[in-house]
Structure 1
Amino acid sequence: MALENKFGIGDIVTFKTHPLLYDRYIKGDGKLVPPFMVVKEVFFEDKKKKIVDTSNGKTIAERIKYTCVFFDDNKSEFKTVVVYETMLNGFKNFYISRMDGEKKEEDSDYDSVIDEVSKYKDSSYLYGNIVYFKTKKLEILKKRSSVKNESITKESDDPIIEKRETFQYVVNYATPEFVLCGYKEELGEDLFYPNGSKKKIISKILYKVKWFNSNQMKFSEDFLPMECFIDKQPFPTLVPHNPKPDVDTSKA
């Protein structure tokens, strides 16, 4: 029976310990939260792969694993990690919302961001255009809650201890903007085992992007699957990042 992968190239995933899979806010140290990642490659182990320890009958591995990429904002560089399927969860299960001042957030606020990200389309290639890593908005909008006890004293009254909960954005793993500067097609070698079964799934097209590396004070470059990027601006600015394409009105 052929193996079926749960996630595809370009899907946004995270390690299943991510707190926003289970609650609307991060509690505790935000540095302990795993990143949102994009699937770069799907790999299928052959039947010879040992997934059960024969000495005790316990599962120790899986047949499907994913190479995922995320942005390390401390070193300002992309990193990859290989993770088995059951250790990952898809982004549609995340609790992510915008923070709108004093307005009480409703469930629809959480759904709207997920719906928006679900409609992302892969970036087209236009040399010199600005593009965005798919996880940018999710990383910037994740929030942490903390509770602080405050002592309030009024005249002729005993001090009253009040609990105050505050919320703040946690923006680790947030990415800069990237500029498109290269394009190449993958040859797609070694995609199948000798018996014809799938060995791996990869992207057919890679984009080369350039960005300012603030950690090393230089400009860095990397090739990544086109499915990692979008060209729709995730946050509006006074002046759009990319000019609108010229429209040929001569035939109108």
Structure 2
Amino acid sequence: MKQNSTNSNEPLYKLGDLVTYLTNPFLKSVNELVLKAKSEYTPPVLVVFEITNPKNFNEQTGKKDVQYNCIFFNSKTCLFERKWFKETELKFVSDHENGSGNEFETISLCDAQQYVNKKFILKSVDVELKKLKSNFEKTDNVKTKITAHLDFVSPILTVLEVLSNENKKVFDNITGTKLRSAILFKCKWFNATKQTFSEDLIPSNVLTNVEQFDISKSEFSFDKDNYYLFPESTVKDKVYEVQDIVELLNISFNTYYYEFVYKNIFTQKINNMILTQDNISAIQEIPREDVFSSELIGINPQRIFKQLTPSTFKKGAFYKIVYKDKMGKITERMIYVIDIIAFNKSFTKVTLTPTQRSKTQTLHDLHCYIEAYCLLRNGDKRHFILNHENILSVKRFLL
């Protein structure tokens, strides 16, 4: 957006800016605005691709009657639509600098040929993907279901041909200066409404190049049987620091990009990462047997039964345990062992001898606890009852 006021002689918005009609409830300060009632009445996000800046001022308003030709994608017809708006009818959503498209104003037609067969999408896609709507469900327990509002989300386009806009800038004594995109793309996409393919000539400054999100030719395996390492990401505390290890849940595709959906093995939190041609090569695949030891209690692969003892846990090491709390709730969690502490029957703290640490009988004679930082609880210090009824599984973290 060029100016802060319509009193300027210059247009308020620029080519490639995202705007919307005045009735759109869009709020810049609210990231998750939920649309209720008839969400279909919400106007689309528009991309400016042509501007008329009149030579003369309006005698009644004292301002120039600047107008903007804007484009949006109609998901009902699966076609792009264009519409002229007065400056007073629009409100600002986002600068054109926040997305690609501006580079086409300086690039030559010859250099622009590199984009033939490349993938693009309408610049408004990210804003449209964030729209939410609520659906009221009348049940015994009245609730509201929040879903995505995707009415104007553009599909991926492929560029068939690159053309020069011969009328990039034309001065007219009546309408004034018309600003247009210098480069035009002839694009093709699948029209889901007509179940065929459609084509259109689209100004380059309203599109975003999404080629970097195409990982279809990547040799990455995405094997759920393995773990994955994010080399530059760590779980860090004053006492410990360890590289982040995650478990792959699924690979999802959202409009134009792939998401690596994973569960952090330390915190058990589920998150996702948008994959690109650059960051996918940084993810390292690690076999499960290289991350955790075999089961430390119960019957091991050699068919030998190992009993739980205080010596099962070593100070300063990470363990993955399956733990049942006093309420009977079973959780899997990663812990960093501080110490093994014990109390006698009168709950006086005692020091375990090496012999007591290696005997399972110790768990019957004394009250034993694992003192540890629990990463499932944001690294807070916790105490876990050390006995066979509560500790159901133990594996040592090897990395």
TM range (shorter): 0.5 to 0.7
Measured at CA, do residues 147 and 237 of structure 1 come closer, stay the same or move farther in structure 2, by a change above 3 Å? closer
Please tell me whether residue 134 in structure 1 is matched to residue 143 in structure 2. no
TM-score by length of 1: 0.68
- 1:23-54 C-alpha deviation (Å, 9 max, x unpaired): 6111211211111111010012343x8664xx
Partner of 1:89: 91
Q: How does 1:74-113 map to 2 (within 5 A)?
A: 74-92=76-94
Q: Using the alignment, how far apart are the partners of 1:186 and 1:148 within structure 2?
A: 51
What is the letter of the counterpart of residue 180 of structure 1?
A: V
Measured at CA, do residues 62 and 87 of structure 1 come closer, stay the same or move farther in structure 2, by a change above 3 Å? farther
Please tell me whether residue 166 in structure 1 is matched to residue 128 in structure 2. no
Partner of 2:209: 231
User: Whose strand proportion is higher, 1 or 2?
Assistant: 2
Distance apart, 1:213 and its partner CA: 1.4
Partner of 1:119: 98
Partner of 2:180: 202
Partner of 1:63: 65
Report if aligned partners of 1:38, 1:134 keep a CA contact under 8 Å in 2: yes
Q: Using the alignment, how far apart are the partners of 2:162 and 2:173 within structure 1?
A: 31
- Aligned to 2:257, the other structure's residue is in SS state coil
Please tell me whether residue 9 in structure 1 is matched to residue 8 in structure 2. no
Measured at CA, do residues 176 and 189 of structure 1 come closer, stay the same or move farther in structure 2, by a change above 3 Å? closer
Distance apart, 1:3 and its partner CA: 2.5
- Aligned to 2:34, the other structure's residue is in SS state coil
Report if aligned partners of 1:180, 1:207 keep a CA contact under 8 Å in 2: yes
Measured at CA, do residues 237 and 208 of structure 1 come closer, stay the same or move farther in structure 2, by a change above 3 Å? farther
Please tell me whether residue 176 in structure 1 is matched to residue 151 in structure 2. no
Distance apart, 1:241 and its partner CA: 10
Q: Using the alignment, how far apart are the partners of 1:145 and 1:202 within structure 2?
A: 38
1:29 to 32, 35, 38: 38
Q: Using the alignment, how far apart are the partners of 2:15 and 2:157 within structure 1?
A: 20
Distance apart, 1:198 and its partner CA: 4.9
- Aligned to 2:161, the other structure's residue is in SS state strand
What is the letter of the counterpart of residue 12 of structure 1?
A: L
Distance apart, 1:170 and its partner CA: 0.8
Measured at CA, do residues 200 and 3 of structure 1 come closer, stay the same or move farther in structure 2, by a change above 3 Å? farther
Distance apart, 1:133 and its partner CA: 1.0
Which blocks of at least 5 consecutive residues in structure 1 are unaligned?
53-58, 93-113, 152-161, 245-252
Q: Using the alignment, how far apart are the partners of 2:99 and 2:171 within structure 1?
A: 30
Distance apart, 1:147 and its partner CA: 4.5
Report if aligned partners of 2:22, 2:91 keep a CA contact under 8 Å in 1: yes
Distance apart, 1:193 and its partner CA: 3.7
What is the letter of the counterpart of residue 13 of structure 2?
A: F
Measured at CA, do residues 165 and 138 of structure 1 come closer, stay the same or move farther in structure 2, by a change above 3 Å? same
Which of 1 and 2 has greater Rg? 2
Distance apart, 1:188 and its partner CA: 2.8
- 1:79-105 C-alpha deviation (Å, 9 max, x unpaired): 10000111111114xxxxxxxxxxxxx
Q: Using the alignment, how far apart are the partners of 1:169 and 1:80 within structure 2?
A: 24
- 1:152-188 C-alpha deviation (Å, 9 max, x unpaired): xxxxxxxxxx653331111101111100111111123
TM-score by length of 2: 0.45
CA RMSD of aligned residues (A): 3.3
Which blocks of at least 5 consecutive residues in structure 2 are unaligned?
1-6, 105-111, 214-255, 261-273, 279-399
